[in-house]
Amino acid sequence: MSLDELTLAVPMVIDSIATDASIEARLYALGVRVGESVEVLRRAPLGGAVHVRFASGLELAMDAAIAACVTVRPRVVPVYVGTE
């Protein structure tokens, strides 16, 4: 699932980022990393961009085309069985 298809306000984890090198570098510089938690706060009118928030507190306005290149997966919630 990619970031642009994400349901609003459901935190996920970035699985991969695959776009052209300059945009990847810019995302990296902004502080976007694989493995980081992310949620989509809203979509812009006309569907042009998404407003996303990362676990670091960083919020970005991101073109939907970039968001489509970022895949996400559900957060793994640790389940403890038994007693320690």
In the bound complex, what is the minimum distance in angstroms from residue 65's beta carbon to other proteins? 6
Q: Please identify, using beta-carbon distances, which residue of 45 and 78 lies nearer to other proteins.
A: 45
Tell me the one-letter amino acid at 6: L
| CA-closest candidate to residue 38, choices 18, 59, 53 | 53
By the rule CB under 8 A, 58 interacts with other proteins: yes
Instruction: Indicate whether 66 belongs to the interface with other proteins (CB under 8 A).
Output: yes
17 contacts other proteins (rule: CB under 8 A): no
8 Å CB contact between 36 and 13: yes
34 belongs to the binding site for other proteins (CB under 8 A):
no
Decide: is 6 part of the binding site for other proteins (CB under 8 A): no
Backbone phi, then psi, for 27, in 5-degree steps? Answer: -60, -40
CA nearest to 70, candidates 25, 24, 26: 24
Minimum CB distance to other proteins smaller for 18 or for 81? 18
